[in-house]
Amino acid sequence: MSYTFGGYKTKSVSPNLASNFSNLQVDGGRNALTGLVGNFMQSKDAAESPVYSPISNGSGTGLTLKVPQNAAQFRINGNVSCVVGEDSTYTYGHLAPADTDTVFDCANQQYIYLKPSNGTNTIYFQFVCI
């Protein structure tokens, strides 16, 4: 009786879990979020007509930023306070104080909504990307 080699078996793994040991959250670009600092920063959003930092907005109206797929964090600093919301109604959100660096995790966000307080203002932002 002879033995016939049946070939190597391959493990079926979904694409977003192939390299992260199946237990780490992934961002929009399917990169594992390891909790480590990002690889680079980006001072523009991912819209077709990008919004660049700094943003000058004199009327205090809302702004929409499209989060890049590989962004893990969002940093904001401005000369006035700014509401950072997850929806355009600003029902829920965080008030980022003036002249203070504020960091938000944004790996699974599609949009970030900003509403600076009234008056002449300049808002600086960056996405930390992996």
Any idea which residue has 């932002």 for tokens?
125
Three-class DSSP labels, 56-76: ECCCCCCEEEECCCCEEEEEE
| Burial (CB count within 10 angstroms: exposed 0-12, middle 13-18, buried 19+), residue 72 | buried
The structural domains of the chain, ordered by start, are 37-129 (2.60.120.10)
Averaged pLDDT score across all residues of the chain:
78
Greater model confidence, 41 or 30: 41
pLDDT of residue 17: 47
> Residue 32, Cβ neighbours under 10 Å: how many?
18
Residues 26, 31, 36, 39: what is their CA dihedral angle, to the nearest 10 degrees? -140
Q: Is the pLDDT of residue 92 over 50?
A: yes
- Could you give the CA distance from residue 5 to residue 82 in angstroms, rounded to a whole number? 66
Q: Any idea how long the chain is? A: 130
- pLDDT tops 90 at residue 75: yes
What are the beta bridge partners of residue 32? 26
Contact 113, 93 (CB under 8 A): yes
Judge whether residue 66 has pLDDT over 90: yes
Tell me the mean pLDDT in the region 117-121: 75
> For 87-104, what is the mean pLDDT?
86
User: What sign results for the dihedral spanned by CA atoms 26, 102, 92, 80?
Assistant: negative
pTM here?
Answer: 0.69
**pLDDT for residue 12:** 47
